[in-house]
Amino acid sequence: MSGGGDFTGNFDGALAAALGALVKATKAVGRLPEDIEFHRTVDDAADQRLSEVSERVLAMGNALCAGARAGPGPAEIEGVDDIAEKGGDGAWGAAPGFRSVTDTVDTLLEKIDVGLDEVLKTAAHRMRSLAQQSAPVVTTVVAGQQQQQQQQQQSVRIVHAQNIPRPQLQFKDAIDNSSATPFVWKIREKPHARVPLDHGLPSEDMADTPLGQHLHKLGIPRPRSPASPAGSGATTPRRGAPAPSIAQTLAALTASEAGSLRALPHPYEYEITHAEHPKRLFDAGSEQQPAGWDETPFEFVDSEAALGEMMAHLETASEIAIDLEHHDYRSYQGFTCLIQVSSRTRDYVVDALALRAELQCLNRVTADPQRIKVFHGADHDIQWLQRDFGVYVVGLFDTYHASKVLNMAHHSLAHLLKTYCGYHADKKYQLADWRIRPVPDEMMRYARADTHFLLYIFDRMRTELLERGQRLVGVDVGSPDSAHFGELAGMDTVMSAVQPMELVLQRSDQTSLKTYIKEGYDADHGMGGGGWAKLLKKWNHPLTPTQLTVYRVLHQWRDSCAREEDESVRYVLPNHMLFAVADRMPEEAAQLLAACRPTPPLVRLHAADIVRLIAQARKAAQSRINDVRADVEETPEPRRPVHTRFDDSGSPISGDIPRPDVLTPELLASVDDMVAPGSALFGSPTAVTSAAAGTIKGGASPGAEQMAAAARAREIRAGLVLTVAVPQTVVTGAQADREFKRVGKRAVSPEPQQQEEHKAKRPAAPV
């Protein structure tokens, strides 16, 4: 950090000073008026001062993040707006800056996860047998860079315990982490069906196909033939839309998107798209205050009997608030740990680990379009319910979508709780280990609060949506003269004829139509959420061609190990270690372990295999590089142009012209896209393109310059050849590792004299 005293060697002093400053800053922020934007418009001096301070804070934030990353990492935050906005998917951070902050925090947490495991392991060793779960340990991390709306909280609480029994060992359903098979439904019965369960599934004619066999193995019911009017599993006769043709279904089923496997169709798609929303959503009814916390009967549901009682109660409720807590560190796909449910009069927290196999009965209320289900930011919840229990939601009202349509300042549940209920949610537990049983009191309170107030929040938002809709009646939305123009313009979309409530319901329907898709693995191109290309791009980590080969092999090893052991990839080998190992390419197990400290258990276990894989990758990369070299040397000079080309003055250009297919900026850009942004190994792509442009234009001494350019073109082509010819490696350089050296942390550049060459050809650019 710049500014402040010199605390070199005095960590405690630095920490105390930093914390003091942080507390002061936080207090000051708390005193800022809520309508700060208004003050900025009326007071120029204040506006300017605020802008200066904002910029300083932003720069400090970036410096802090850079420090925390200690190496290349996510891109910098460019503006305050980057941070303030949460992602459009209703879940956590999609805005670039927010993501950059959360990525940094993720990396820190990842390190803490590994560190805590290590510390707790030795502590546990001393105190008790390894098989026993330790008491929960609460770790408070002062993070400071929470979402802006939670300024009052600077800490993330991580509740950990050592030796938590792996709940998935008790699951009755088999966990299928295979990247070759798509996710298939758990749902067996379909309450509130308007079309049968097997509507749209492949028929038994498909029994011989791999998909048919997979479905059969999993006991998914299929119609006897495509023509059969109602197949097995139907509870009501088919009505409405005709079944899609088998060809359509199969095409949809077998098409795999980049890096992910397609799921089966949504079993309630027809019901969701054809449901009539309950009338009372459009009645400005009364708002019902939530009952007091202590007066509300609360139940932890962890037996079938208790579940039966809860269901009986819910079947009398017309609105139900639901939320989920999830665990994904010690599991490949993750699993739901708790389901919180509130009616107007009762709160429940369901033990989703103990009752995993029994929870499909929830469909009796969740799939009933007449019972309004209120969630906040349900994108993930919807998918987790399908994946773990075969539970679907018909009739969703998502308060996140409502907060967007109402154009509220922030869209988190914490903000809604504060705005409507004056309740300060303790979001510190968001990242707690929800597998811990018995659930510690403070975690239980946190979980329960997530739904306790939600129906009242729904009431308030419904009132506001309907009021706003009233004011819209007869308003010429497009006219700036309209008294409501400002208000309308403030809405997050062009509202035109759509009423705010309708808009929320449409978006909520879209959310409830989400299907869980198991992540595939795209070894060749690294596409998909967990793909190697995305990670490389995100980290912007420079790698030589050989290191890149090693990185890809490690990435794939990590993925298959995680699938096999049912662990998250970050448990198997955290990202920062993956890059550290790719950098060092250790030749012996001891070196590997030294690159990963503290060593993740699965790395220790498989150290010999990993080292062997690295050696193979290095060898393969080297021999490919040699092959391509030989190929380049044998390649004849570029062909002469078939068409005559003219320079700017209209004179014909003669001589060798590099093949345009090699040199198009698009092509170069796409290659650059495939690899880390910082790895334009020839210098910047612009430099290459302008070098080529120089050739085509000819010039004073066409001969020498064109020869040089043609040579460059061959190099570039060799790079592309290598890219295409080496399915195991994407390499942007035609040259071997040692011909490149790392300059600074991010850039990989050619040798100095080549760099000079580039500079000479590059048009002078402001730095």
Q: Which is nearer to ligand AMP, 192 or 376 (CB)?
A: 376
Q: Which is nearer to ligand AMP, 383 or 679 (CB)?
A: 383
Q: Interface with Zn ion by CB under 5 A: which range of 263-271, 282-290, 317-325, 570-578?
A: 317-325
**What whole-number distance in Å separates Cα of residue 403 and Cα of residue 376?**
10
Q: How far is the CB of 323 from Zn ion (least distance, A)?
A: 4
Q: Which is nearer to ligand AMP, 101 or 461 (CB)?
A: 101
Return the residues of window 725-754 that contact Zn ion according to CB under 5 A: none
Contacting residues toward ligand AMP, per CB under 6 A: 92, 323-326, 430, 434, 450
Closest residue to Zn ion using C-beta atoms: 450
Q: Select the binding partner of residue 326 from ligand AMP, Zn ion, Mn ion, none (C-beta < 5 to 8 A, by kind).
A: ligand AMP
**What whole-number distance in Å separates Cα of residue 188 and Cα of residue 198?**
10
Q: Which is nearer to Mn ion, 102 or 107 (CB)?
A: 102
Q: How far is the CB of 677 from Mn ion (least distance, A)?
A: 33
Q: Which is nearer to ligand AMP, 314 or 322 (CB)?
A: 322
- Residue 439 structure tokens: 């659930």
Q: How far is the CB of 296 from ligand AMP (least distance, A)?
A: 19
Sign of CA dihedral 405, 408, 413, 417: negative
**Cα dist. 479→293, 466, 471, 476, 670 in Å?**
47, 22, 15, 6, 44
Q: Which is nearer to Zn ion, 118 or 426 (CB)?
A: 426
Q: How far is the CB of 157 from ligand AMP (least distance, A)?
A: 13
Assign 137 to helix, strand or coil. Answer: strand
Classify burial at 681, counting beta carbons within 10 Å of its beta carbon; exposed 0-12, middle 13-18, buried 19 or more.
buried
Q: 199: Cβ–Cβ under 8 A, 6 or more apart, which residues? A: 238, 243, 267, 270
Q: Which is nearer to Zn ion, 110 or 323 (CB)?
A: 323
Element (H, E) at 459: helix 454-472
Rule CB under 5 A: choose which of 323, 381, 656, 672 binds Zn ion: 323
Q: Which is nearer to ligand AMP, 434 or 740 (CB)?
A: 434
**What whole-number distance in Å separates Cα of residue 341 and Cα of residue 111?**
34
Total site size for Mn ion, rule CB under 5 A: 1
Q: Is residue 603 a contact partner of residue 592, using CB atoms and an 8 Å limit?
A: yes
Q: Is residue 462 a contact partner of residue 501, using CB atoms and an 8 Å limit?
A: yes
Contact between 398 and Mn ion (CB under 5 A)? no
Q: How far is the CB of 689 from Mn ion (least distance, A)?
A: 48
x/- mask, Mn ion, residues 316-335, rule CB under 5 A, reads: -------x------------
Q: How far is the CB of 430 from ligand AMP (least distance, A)?
A: 4
Q: How far is the CB of 659 from Zn ion (least distance, A)?
A: 57
Point out which residues pair with 519 in neighbouring strands.
Answer: 260
Q: How far is the CB of 83 from Mn ion (least distance, A)?
A: 21
**DSSP codes of every residue in 174-231:** PP---SSS---------TT-SS-TTTTS--GGGTTSHHHHHHHHTT----SSTT-SS-
Q: Which is nearer to ligand AMP, 222 or 330 (CB)?
A: 330
Q: How far is the CB of 153 from Zn ion (least distance, A)?
A: 16
Closest residue to Mn ion using C-beta atoms: 323
Please compute Rg for the chain using Cα positions.
30
Q: Is residue 645 a contact partner of residue 652, using CB atoms and an 8 Å limit?
A: yes
Q: Is residue 259 a contact partner of residue 530, using CB atoms and an 8 Å limit?
A: yes
Rule CB under 5 A: choose which of 450, 459, 583, 737 binds Zn ion: 450
Q: Residue 632's Cα: distance from chain center in Å?
A: 41
Binding site for Zn ion (CB under 5 A): 323, 450
Binding site for Mn ion (CB under 5 A): 323
